[in-house]
Amino acid sequence: MHLAASAIVLAIRPHGESGAIVRALTAEAGLMAGYVRGGRSRQLRPVLQPGNVILGEWRARTEEQLPALTVELMHSRAPMFREPLPAAAFEWATALTAAALPEGQPYPLVHSALEGLLDAIEAAPAARGWAAALVRYELLMLAELGFGLDLGRCAATGTNDDLAFVSPKSGIAVSRSGAVGYESRLLVLPRFVVAGGPAEWDDIVAGLKLTAHFLERDLLHGKAAEVLAARARLVDRLNRAVA
């Protein structure tokens, strides 16, 4: 097996005395893992940071073998890790992607969206510049992995007018009139999720609560606890940033 491609670094795990197992997302082949000799060395540590873009070369004698991976830095986002909020956003977006995607299957929409999200965080570190894009990315991850929400019609009436809530059980939208008497049992559907456009902070908070429910129930159930802990840290920092 041989692959040479640009990739977004997602996760780094120590292996052996100084090596690391690196998981990175390519546009062509999806999520790829590989062993980087000296991956924890002073030279390579700044290269192997979540969110960085590398030129990777994976080589293995068989498809079952963990490939050896050599890396060359193409774009560094490491300076953003000096800021707590962008650092938490990078940590969550890359951890979610690494935990949710199967290896070796291309997800070009996910790759493109993650690249756009990380670029947005880098360009405008303040939360209002990218928080709505983060909600959309989480919704895309759900959809790409078979857990997409049905936000085009009302579960109660079948119409597509004035959709304002989502059923936490079915993931189907509910109109304002169809939700009368049941509002407290439903999740708020922010307008920007359906119609696009700018989002106020209350809308972003509602969007994060919406995606959190389905991410925890459907996509990350049984996954490592530290993945959801990364999201909790991000939400906490977002709340403090706009308080």
What does the pLDDT look like over 104-156, one tens digit per residue?
Answer: 999 999 999 999 999 999 998 788 889 999 999 999 999 999 999 999 999 88
Tell whether the torsion through CA atoms of 115, 126, 46 and 39 is positive or negative. Answer: negative
- Which residues, listed in sequence order, are joined to residue 25 by a DSSP beta bridge? 8, 31
Instruction: Supply the pTM of this predicted model.
Output: 0.94
In this structure, how many other beta carbons lie within 10 angstroms of the beta carbon of residue 124? 12
What mean pLDDT, rounded, does the chain reach? Answer: 94
- Distance of alpha carbon 139 from alpha carbon 151, whole angstroms: 11
Q: Are residues 16 and 110 in the same domain?
A: no
The answer to whether position 178 is within a domain reads no
Tokens of 235: 């939400």
* Residues 52 and 129 occupy one common structural domain: no
In a domain, 31, yes or no: yes
Tell me phi and psi for residue 141, to 5 degrees.
-60, -45
Same domain, 65 and 105: no
Looking at the chain, the whole-number percentage of residues with pLDDT higher than 70 is: 100
Q: How many helices (H) and strands (E) does the chain have?
A: 6, 8
Question: Measured between alpha carbons, how far is 139 from 219 in angstroms, rounded to an integer?
Answer: 11
Looking at residue 224, its pLDDT comes to 74
The Cα 141–Cα 38 span in angstroms is 32
Domain count, the chain: 2
Q: Do 130 and 195 sit in the same domain of this protein?
A: yes
- Check whether 27 has a pLDDT greater than 70: yes
Same domain, 1 and 83: no
The per-residue pLDDT for 243 is 64
- Indicate which CATH number applies to the domain containing 22: 2.40.50.140
For residues 94 and 137, membership in a common domain is answered with yes
Is pLDDT at 217 greater than 80 in this prediction?
A: yes
The arithmetic mean of pLDDT across residues 5-20, rounded, is: 94
Distance CA 89, CA 104 (A): 25
- Whether the pLDDT of residue 62 is over 90: the answer is no
Residue 166 lies in a domain: no
Confidence of residue 31 (pLDDT cuts 50, 70, 90): very high
Q: Which of 35, 60, 76 is the last residue of a domain?
A: 76
Contact 88, 233 (CB under 8 A): yes
Task: Please say which residue of 76, 97, 132 terminates a domain.
Answer: 76
Q: Answer yes or no: do 112 and 58 share one domain.
A: no
Residue 19 in any domain: the answer is yes
User: 144 and 213: one domain?
Assistant: yes
Q: How confident is the model at residue 54, as a pLDDT?
A: 98
pLDDT of residue 203: 94
pLDDT band at 184 (very low <50, low <70, confident <90, very high): very high
56 and 5 co-located in one domain: yes
Rounded average pLDDT over 32-55: 95
Point out the domain boundary residue: 34, 50, 76: 76
Q: In angstroms, rounded to a whole number, what is the distance separating the alpha carbons of residues 89 and 128?
A: 12
Residues 40 and 145 in one domain: no
Q: Which residue range is the domain that position 12 belongs to?
A: 1-76
Percent with pLDDT over 90 in the chain: 81
Rounded to 10°, the helix 225-242/84-100 angle is 150
Residues 119 and 72 in one domain: no
Query: What's the rounded Cα separation, in Å, for the pair 53 and 122?
Result: 13
Residue 210 belongs to a domain: yes
Residues 97 and 214 grouped into a single domain: yes
